[in-house]
Structure 1
Amino acid sequence: MLYLLVFAQAHADFRIPELQSVSELYGFHIGLLENADPSRPFMVVELEEEMYARLLARRCILVKAVCEFYARGATYDEVHERNRACRSQWERYVPDTSFKFVVSAYNHSIPQRRQRDVVESFSYMDFLGKIDMKSPEITMVVHEEYDDKHGTTREKHEGDGAFREVFFGRLIEEGSARPLMKKFDVKKRVFYGNTSMEAEISLLMANQTLASPGKLIYDPFVGTGSMTYTTAHFGAMVFGSDIDGRQMRGREKRPGIIRAAAQYGVDQRIVDLCTFDVTRNPWRCGGLFDAIITDPPYGVRAGAKRLGRKNRRAKDEDESRSRPFQPSERPDDQPYIPPTRPYELSALASDLVLLARYMLKPGGRLVFFLPTVTEEYAELDLQTFLCEGMEVVANSLQDFGSWGRRLITIRKATTQQFPPPAFDPDKNVLSESDLTHVPAHKDFRQKYFEGFKKGKLGD
C-alpha cells in the first residue's frame, strides 16, 4: 500500500533518517520509492499496514500528516485519470460515509473560489454520504506543491494554479508528535543554560536513539539536560554525567535537571547524575547502555574540557606515574579543584566513538552533533573517528551557511567485547602533518572565531 507523508517545513535532511529510525523502533519496513526526494514537502512511501502509517504520525517530529495515497500529477487531468484507475481503494466510502474535502497548498494561498472548483472537479467519485465539515468519517485531501518563492514580493494569490504537482488521498491521521515542540520549549523550562538544545532538535535526536520504555540511555556531556527530558518522555531511563557539575545542579538545592524533569513528569526516569571527566570515567564494565546521546561542546558558547594541565611536560607526567600518590595538605579548608585543559574536537569525537563501542550493547546507537566547516567537509571526515565494529547509520546536516552541524548516528554492529578505551591525551596535540586526512571539524573553534578564512591556520 502507498501512503502520502506531509512534512513540516523544516530540517529536510533529517526526514528520511527519522522515518527509518521510527520504523526500526516499531519493527516494520518502510519502502522509499526511487523518485523519493526528501527536500520536497510530500513523499509517497510503501507500508504493509495502515497501522504503521499511524505510528509514523504519532512518533515522527517532522511529519504533519499521513494520508492513504490515491493519485498525483502535474495537472488535475492526470490526477483525475489516475484516481479513477484506483477506484477500488475509495469506492467503499461511496454509499453512506460522511466526508469533507480539504484543499491546501505548500508555499501558496489558494483563493476560496478555486478551492470550490477543485472540490467540484472530484464530483465523479459520487459520494452519497453526508457532507460534514466538523466531524466527518473521512477527510479527502488535495495538496498543491508550489516552488519556494520566499524573499520575493508578490500579491497574495499571484501564480495561482502554476503548481509543481498535485497530490490526492484520504487523511489517515494528523501528526501528534510535532506539538511536543511546545511542551519542551526551552523558554518555558524552569532550568536551562546558554548551551541548551532547542526542543525540535532534541526530539529528533531522541528518535534517532530509538528511545522507548525499558531502554537505558546515557549522555556523557549532559550539561543542562536538554536531551534527557525528550528521551525520558519516550519512556527511556536516563543517566547523565558532565565534567562540570554546576551545569547539572544550578543554584538551588534540588538539581536543576531534576527540577526541569519534574516539570515534564519524567523525574523518576532520571537514574542519576554524576560529575566526572568522561576520559577518566568510573565504568568498570561495558555493554550497559542501549544508546548514547549527546551534544559535545565545541567551543563556540562553551569549550570542551578534560582533566590535566595545559602546559605540563611529558617528562613531568612520566615522573608522576612512577612515584606513588601523596595527597598534599592545604592551608585552608577549601575543596580541591582539579586543573583542566582544552579537549580538541577531533580527539573528542574519536574518544566518544571508542567509549560508545565499549559502553553500548550490540546494536546500540551513538547519536551526537558534529560541527563542520562547509567548504572543507568531505565524507572521508567520518572515517577519521570510526573504529572497528562501529558503522554510520545516518548523517544529517543542519546548514548555517559557512558552517553546519551534522547529526551523526552510529550503530554498534558487533557482538565482540572490547577493552576499555585508554583515551590517549596526546591525541589532543596532533598536528595536521600527523594526519593522513585533516577532517573539517578539526580545530573548529579556532576556525569559527577566525571566520573560516582559507589558509589562516597554515600561516
Structure 2
Amino acid sequence: MAKYMNPGKSFLLWYAHDLINFRLQELHAISACFNIKYEWLEEPSISHPYLLVNFASSADVMKVMSRTVLIRSAYELWAKSNSISCLYKKMKALPKSFTEPYSRSNVSFRILVESFGKKLNKDYKVQRIDELAFLAFEGPIKLKDPDHSFLLMEYYGTNRNFAPEDPYHLFFGRWIADGQRTVSQKINLKTRKFIGNTSMDPLLSLVMANMACVKPGSIVLDPFVGSGGLLVAAAHFGGCCFGTDIDYLMLHGRAKPSRLNQKRRAPDESILSNMKQYGLESQYLDVIVSDFALPLWRVTSLFDAIITDPPYGIREPTERIGTEKDYKIPDHLANSHIPSKVSYSLQDIIEDLLDFSSVYLRLNGRLVYWMPSFNEDFDKTKLPYHPCLELKGFCKQALTGHSSRYLITMQKIKENMNESEKAHVPDAALSFRKKYFEAHKKRLQQ
C-alpha cells in the first residue's frame, strides 16, 4: 500500500536502465540481508526507472546502496509533483527545521538538473537552478565534493522519440549515495584472466550474489562452477567460496580457449588466478572435480548460500558419471580409468539441486539458480518445488524469441530429516533442449 511522503524518511531510488525485471527482487533480497523494513511511497512500476520508498532512516538507505548493483543513485526526497509550480510550492512548504541544516553559511552545496526521456539544454538547466533561489542556501557553491548535492530530476517517459513538452513527473532531493555498479566494470570479462564459453555476465553474477544474501564469512558453493564467475561475485561481497564441476579440463584451465584468436590457454589460467587478479584470493577455499549427481560432502547444513547456473544442454553438455554397459574394470586399470558419462536431463539436474540444497544448506540459507524454459511451457504456478525450500521470487531474462531463463531464489525453511522429502520439477524441463533446437531449426528454414 502506498504511504504519505515523510521528509527525511522518503527516498527516490534511481535505477540504471537495464535488468528491469530484477529490480524489485534485488531490493527485497538486500533488505532481507540487512533486516531493513521499508514501505512503498508509490506502488512500483517496472515501466519507471525509479522507485519511491519510505525507509526508517538514511542509514538504511546507505546499507542498501552499499550492495545494490542496479540502483544508480539514492536521494532523500524533498518533493515530487506533476508540474514545476506545484513542486516549488511543496518545497516552500517544507519545515524550516528540516531545511535549516543545509542553508547555513558554512555548508557548501551544488544543485544539478537532470532529465530522463528528453535532453535538456544548458540554458534550460541554468534557468531551473536560478528558480531555486527561494531555498536561500547561504553557503558556498562547490561543484566538486560539496557538503551536500541536490538534484532536480525531470521525467519525460521512456520513449525519447515521443517525449512530451512538459515532464510527467518532477523530483527534488538530496543525494545520499551511489550504488555499486562500478564493480561490474572492475570484474569485466574482457580483462578477466580466465573465462569460458558460458561465463556469467558480471552484473548478473553480482545480482545473484545479492539475491543469495551473501555476507562476509558466508560459505558459498557453486556446484556447476565452470570458470568461476559466480565465485568472483560472491567473494566480492565477502563470501568464502567453494566450487565443483565434472569438467576436468575446464577446472584445470586446459579446455579450448574461449577468446577469439587465442590458440591455447595460458599455463596459469584458473579460478584462483581470477581471485588473485581481483585481490580476493583470501576468499577462495577450493574447487573440486566432482559429479554433482554423486554428492561428496559428509557434513550437512554446511553452506550459507548456493548460487549456480546449471548446464542446459545448449552450449554445454549435461552429463553425469554412468554407463549403459555392464562391465568390470580390471584392477590394474582402475587407477588410470576415466569414468564414462551418460546424459543428465535438465529435470534431473534441478531436482538434484533442490534435494541437495534441502540437505546441505543451513537453515535460512538461500539457493539461487537459473532455469531455462520454452516460453509457451512456462507456468509461474508450477515452478520447481521442495517442501523444505520456500520460493522467494523469480526474474525473467529473454534468451531468444521462443525461450527465456528464470533466476529463481529459494530459502531453506526447515531441515530435511533423513533426506526423505524430495523435489518436484515440472515435466516441461525434460523437453526444453529438444524444443529449443526444433524452434531454432525452424527459424533457420524460414
CA contact (8 A) 2:10 2:41 kept: no
- 2:306 matches 1:292: yes
Q: Give the deviation of 1:341 after TM superposition.
A: 1.6
- Paired amino acid for 2:272: I
Q: Give the deviation of 1:102 after TM superposition.
A: 0.5
Q: 1:214 aligns with which of 213, 217, 225?
A: 217
Q: Give the deviation of 1:306 after TM superposition.
A: 1.1
Identity of aligned residues (%): 30
SS in 2 for 1:205: helix
SS in 2 for 1:20: helix
- 2:176 matches 1:172: yes
CA contact (8 A) 2:355 2:422 kept: no
- 2:349 matches 1:345: no
- 2:90 matches 1:82: yes
Q: 1:94 aligns with which of 103, 114, 132?
A: 103
CA distance in 2, matches of 1:42, 1:34: 10
Which residue does the alignment assign to 1:200? 203
- 2:354 matches 1:366: no
- Paired amino acid for 1:78: C
Which residue does the alignment assign to 2:278? 264
Which residue does the alignment assign to 1:9? 17
- 2:136 matches 1:126: yes
Q: Give the deviation of 1:189 after TM superposition.
A: 0.6
| Stretch deviating more after TM superposition (232-241 or 120-129) | 120-129
CA contact (8 A) 1:143 1:167 kept: yes
CA distance in 1, matches of 2:101, 2:294: 65
User: CA 1:402 to 1:84, structure 2 compared with 1: closer, same or farther past 3 Å?
Assistant: farther
SS in 2 for 1:59: coil
- Paired amino acid for 1:284: R
Which residue does the alignment assign to 1:391? 390
Q: Give the deviation of 1:438 after TM superposition.
A: 4.0
SS in 2 for 1:301: coil
Post-superposition Cα deviations, 1:22-77, rounded to whole Å, max 9, x if no partner, equal 12222221223452224311111111121111122221000111110111111112
TM-score (norm 2): 0.88
Which residue does the alignment assign to 1:144? 154
Which residue does the alignment assign to 2:358? 357
Q: How many residues align?
A: 420
In structure 2, stretches of 5+ residues that fail to align are 1-8, 255-265
Q: 1:227 aligns with which of 227, 230, 241?
A: 230
Q: Give the deviation of 1:4 after TM superposition.
A: 0.8
CA contact (8 A) 2:157 2:163 kept: no
Which residue does the alignment assign to 2:121? 111
- Paired amino acid for 1:10: D
SS in 2 for 1:122: helix
Q: Give the deviation of 1:363 after TM superposition.
A: 0.1
Q: Give the deviation of 1:254 after TM superposition.
A: 5.0
- Paired amino acid for 1:174: D
CA distance in 2, matches of 1:135, 1:422: 56
CA contact (8 A) 1:358 1:421 kept: no
Q: Give the deviation of 1:446 after TM superposition.
A: 1.5
Post-superposition Cα deviations, 1:148-179, rounded to whole Å, max 9, x if no partner, equal 226x5xxxxx847432211111111122x110
TM-score (norm 1): 0.85
Aligned alpha-carbon RMSD (Å): 2.5
Post-superposition Cα deviations, 1:198-245, rounded to whole Å, max 9, x if no partner, equal 100011111111112121011100011000111011111111101112
Which residue does the alignment assign to 1:57? 65
